[in-house]
Structure 1
Amino acid sequence: MLTDTQPQPLIERIRDIGHPEAVRRFFSLLKELIDIINLPNGDARLVFTVRKGQKAITANINFFLALQLVKPNRGEVEYWLTIKKGCQSQLSAIREIDFVPLTEKSDYVSVVIGHSDAHLLQNPAIRKCWEDCLPELAETPKRGPHSARHNADIYLAAEDEAFLSDLLRLVDDPTLGDSPSNDYSAAEPETAYDVVAERPDQPHNLILVGPPGTGKTFALQPYLRDRNGASDRASLITFHPAYSYEEFVEGIRPEVVGGQVSYRVRKGIFHRACVSAVQLAGYATLADCLNDTPENRVRKLQKAPVHYLLIDEVNRANVASVFGDLITLLETDKRLGADNELWLTLPYSQERFGVPSNLYVVGTMNTTDRSIALLDIALRRRFAFRDMRPDPSVLPVIDGIDLPQLLRTVNERIEYLLDRDHQIGHAYLTAVANHTDLCGAFRDQVIPLLQEYFFNDWAKIQLILGDNPAWGKDPEHRLIWTKKKYTASASNALFGEMPDAMDEVVTYEINPHLQRGNYDQVPAQAFIRIYQK
């Protein structure tokens, strides 16, 4: 809350900038800057200023501009984030940003981002360049004190959400200074959307399930592209066995700066996705969303566009460990803006956290992955599962070979000998345009996959491909050949005696013409006779 002495210079500068949403975004960034450099208010290495005659709020570390919010005389509000000059090439492909050197010979440049492109403040490449630069600025031998006077109110506004909210209320109505209210929602103007945002026809939490090659990952592509071919409303991650809560939500990470090891809290992709979702509703941070009234929060989140978090191979990680205590917050009725909304306090940062109702989580799960049997039952209850099966109808007939019938026959045999979760997806054959492509697909993908499925039980692989003698294929048409049958006399000749408990042994090999790439020596009948006796 404000004291009797009003922070008038900061209030005037916020009024000059004239953009409350941009101000909130700036102070959210400033809070991160303070957490990263871990310096107290009043430290000689810091100077946060609101200079007269400039429509700007500036944060300097030592003698370097580190972060700035500025309203040019013409144009929109801009965010300036300082990075190392060597990092500039990594961001050159982002056309919406500009670079301004701090000085002619400086090793640092400022990334300039207009408010219309404010989503780029969450761009992982930009954030990493900026966050990696800040500790270096704090450790430079060129230290303060500064000639400019430090404004302690700026530091306080970054650390205290209630203080910032009161500042914004006073900017709108100076008469409120004597009787501040606890309703901070008035400081944040409602984002102007013409209509309630259209929601996708799918559950909030969805997992696409199926065998390999059924297009699960391909089905994520539309979420990554908007009508113009690109989108910033989706985040993509692939789980792996070492993935943890610390990478997904937040965790303490070591950093080496100037030969010294320090530790700070790093936000994970799930946390960043939730922030991106509330920013689409007009909030700068999750804290702003939680500080708002329930009525405003419901209205804004209902009108906000959707943000997607896409998780490929969701069952390859220990899901219960990765989601941790957030598993309850994923439920539709427990999300921010829902009837029974909940939030919790994160263990490392001690910040309040909730999952906004305009965030949709879409994952993929390969049914052949044996870790599916260990999938947490809590996750199964909170996610909807959509089965994706092989679709032979998308395949063509090439060189007289009926690929749809071939795939149907192979999968029917796999389902009989193994189960339906180990079928072969149509994606293995969608790129096949001729006989050569088909031979390559079988040699490099289909047959190795069958080896994995049946643990090199070649007799079963022969059954799958119709290469068993009873099916009636000519020997030269078979893809899996019987290399040799060892009778008792053949075993004696090989070992000099009969091995103990020795059953009849048969060895196999892949058709040598197929194996060596002599595809013109592999007739079309080798594939036609898979499904046609």
Structure 2
Amino acid sequence: MNQSEQKDQLIKKIREIDHPEASLLFFRLLKDVLDVTNLADSDPRLAIVVLKNAVGISVNINVYLALRLTKTRNEGVCLWFAFPKDYFQDGKHPLTKSKDSQSRLNGPQADYVWLPLPFEQADLDRYDPDAKQQWENCLLEFVEKARRSPHIKKHNSAAYKAAIDEAYRGEIIALAAPGWHENQVNEGTKPYATLDTNGGQHQDSVPPKRPDIPLNYLLYGPPGTGKTYYVQQLRREFPDAHFVTFHPSYSYEEFMEGIRPDLVGGQLSYRVKKGIFQEACEEALRKAGYASFGSCLDEGPARRAERFAAAPGHLLVIDEINRANLSAVLGEIITLLEPDKRLGAGNELWLTLPYSRNRFGVPANLYVVGTLNTADRSIALLDTALRRRFAFREMPPDPELLADIAIEGIDLRALLRTMNKRIEALYDRDHTLGHAYFLGLKTYEDLCEAFRGKIIPLLREYFYDDWEKIRLVLGDNERQGKDYDEQLVRRMVLNERELFGEEVLIQPDAYTYEINPALAGGAFDQLPKEAFIRIYRK
């Protein structure tokens, strides 16, 4: 059978299955099979078979079934996966709830079990990543079991090409289901506001749920000012949000996609793995009713814009965004992030990814929220391109949140306000203290512990152990008038003759410093309340 005949055979079978979205998911999973196993189209261990006597397509590696798409009268459209049998030993896994699954698990003893999953549950990336990993482990084992598939003569190269070439896949689906993009959206991925045939919204449609923030939003401020709390509130509204924390060694390959080593059963392989940003974008696509970037980009711009406008939002949170090398991590994504360059926008752009060679764009319903700690890095040092694409919201310390909190006569609002004014005068506003350091305090012991374990160490970091500046912030300088036992940081004259036996230091006045022993030693009941009150009151 030549390639043209194989193509016709494949189109005819997809027509019989009559479920374009299931077919697209099958090809995406087939691409995963090929990425995991590194099997070429001509490899004798691989056979993609368009079934003659059944409505389905099978992927065989050696003598093993790796993946299958079927449609039957009883089960409807299903995708079959192979799993290690011991993965379901307790019998409580969600995939084994059906009677059919239980009968398969209790059948003849074997190393593997093959389970059919309904289309709605078959996207393992979305519904069960752990099961996806187990399936991929089986694929690697299948490759090593033998050297040739008994079905090699039935191999359909058109199906292989449809898995690795998005444009060709789009052509196959378009020929098998003409007009599908225009009118059909699967119920499982339907956006909240569906479109009628004239392009308008149905009268009974529900407005899409979206956060009331810009598409690209960056919260910045000193530590303890509520940035993470704000993000947590957003995540409660959007519990399926993706979350990542940047760090200095974070890379493009982790964020977008990269070739990563995978060791299973002693076999080392390399495959392209999606990063969290690509996963978040795919989830945003699904909320707009698309199964893949290919199906999205094959649709007309006007229809694409309508779908994204009617889709609910999806949230990606990047904590500590400034700790990574942003230019290296974001790469070409920085251009696609711009609101008018997103898929569904007026000047939409997309590109071909460097490793997978798939087409990619940033959906118009993806909201990217970052948090930036100004004590680590000022926003003035951020890449200009990034600053232009993000809306910024400063989150400064808010002493008013402490207005109703007083601990044994100590006014926490006045305490924080005074200390921050001094820090801003001695350093800058990016290194002030956040109100969160004081919000959870209930007792005098809590306050002392906060100063001992958090605030004084932070001030030491800010001022590089310049104790005189720390004393100024804490009101321990002479002009403030604290008694010696009230000072949180004490200055003591260094007696050179007693220490060295002679005068050896050049400085006319040599000092050493210590944290009040009552505070440092945890004897908080011996530390006068005036040690804190006289920070803000003479």
- TM category (shorter chain) comes to 0.7 to 0.9
Letter in 2 for 1:405: A
| Aligned equivalent of 1:513 | 518
Question: Aligned pair in 2 of structure 1 residues 286, 168: CA closer, same or farther (>3 Å)?
Answer: closer
1-structure distance, mates of 2:3, 2:150: 28
Query: Normalised by the size of structure 2, how large is the TM-score?
Result: 0.85
2-structure distance, mates of 1:16, 1:288: 20
Question: Aligned pair in 2 of structure 1 residues 108, 430: CA closer, same or farther (>3 Å)?
Answer: farther
- Per-residue CA deviations over 1:52-101 (Å, capped at 9, x if unaligned) read 67554432323333333445655674444434456669998879988776
Secondary structure in 2 aligned to 1:222?
helix
Is the CA contact 1:17–1:77 (under 8 Å) kept in the aligned structure 2? Answer: yes
Matches within 5 A, 1:133-532: 133-141=138-146, 144-146=149-151, 149-172=154-177, 185-186=181-182, 189=185, 191=190, 193=194, 194-195=205-206, 197-226=208-237, 231-232=239-240, 234-256=241-263, 261-370=268-377, 374-395=381-402, 396-482=405-491, 484-486=492-494, 490-532=495-537
Question: Aligned pair in 2 of structure 1 residues 362, 189: CA closer, same or farther (>3 Å)?
Answer: same
| Aligned equivalent of 1:121 | 125
Number of residue pairs the alignment of both structures matches: 515
- Per-residue CA deviations over 1:166-220 (Å, capped at 9, x if unaligned) read 54445546xxxxxxxxx88348547463355244332211110000011212222
Question: Aligned pair in 2 of structure 1 residues 240, 436: CA closer, same or farther (>3 Å)?
Answer: same
| Cα shift at 1:335 | 0.9
Query: Which stretches in structure 2 are left out of the alignment for 5+ residues?
Result: 195-204
Is the CA contact 2:322–2:377 (under 8 Å) kept in the aligned structure 1? Answer: no
Letter in 2 for 1:66: A
Is the CA contact 2:37–2:143 (under 8 Å) kept in the aligned structure 1? Answer: yes
Of residues 337-346 and 192-201 in structure 1, the stretch that sits farther from structure 2 once superposed is 192-201
Is the CA contact 1:168–1:187 (under 8 Å) kept in the aligned structure 2? Answer: no
Of residues 111-120 and 83-92 in structure 1, the stretch that sits farther from structure 2 once superposed is 83-92
CA RMSD of aligned residues (A): 3.4
2-structure distance, mates of 1:104, 1:391: 67
Is the CA contact 1:96–1:113 (under 8 Å) kept in the aligned structure 2? Answer: no
2-structure distance, mates of 1:497, 1:186: 93
| Cα shift at 1:341 | 0.9
Secondary structure in 2 aligned to 1:328?
helix
Is the CA contact 2:166–2:358 (under 8 Å) kept in the aligned structure 1? Answer: no
| Aligned equivalent of 1:44 | 44
| Cα shift at 1:497 | 2.9
Letter in 1 for 2:225: T
Is the CA contact 1:328–1:334 (under 8 Å) kept in the aligned structure 2? Answer: yes
Secondary structure in 2 aligned to 1:225?
helix
- Per-residue CA deviations over 1:6-45 (Å, capped at 9, x if unaligned) read 7676556545544322221221121121122121335332
1-structure distance, mates of 2:116, 2:417: 56
1-structure distance, mates of 2:19, 2:359: 25
| Cα shift at 1:428 | 1.4
| Cα shift at 1:364 | 0.6
Of residues 410-419 and 135-144 in structure 1, the stretch that sits farther from structure 2 once superposed is 135-144
Percent same amino acid among aligned pairs?
A: 50
Of residues 465-474 and 190-199 in structure 1, the stretch that sits farther from structure 2 once superposed is 190-199
Is the CA contact 1:21–1:188 (under 8 Å) kept in the aligned structure 2? Answer: no
- Per-residue CA deviations over 1:358-383 (Å, capped at 9, x if unaligned) read 11111010001147554211111111
| Cα shift at 1:502 | 2.5
Of residues 288-297 and 78-87 in structure 1, the stretch that sits farther from structure 2 once superposed is 78-87
Question: Aligned pair in 2 of structure 1 residues 39, 16: CA closer, same or farther (>3 Å)?
Answer: same
Of residues 62-71 and 424-433 in structure 1, the stretch that sits farther from structure 2 once superposed is 62-71
2-structure distance, mates of 1:77, 1:349: 28
Secondary structure in 2 aligned to 1:439?
helix
Is the CA contact 2:20–2:177 (under 8 Å) kept in the aligned structure 1? Answer: no
Query: Normalised by the size of structure 1, how large is the TM-score?
Result: 0.85
| Aligned equivalent of 2:200 | none
Letter in 2 for 1:185: H
1-structure distance, mates of 2:478, 2:357: 69
2-structure distance, mates of 1:423, 1:507: 26
Question: Aligned pair in 2 of structure 1 residues 458, 95: CA closer, same or farther (>3 Å)?
Answer: farther
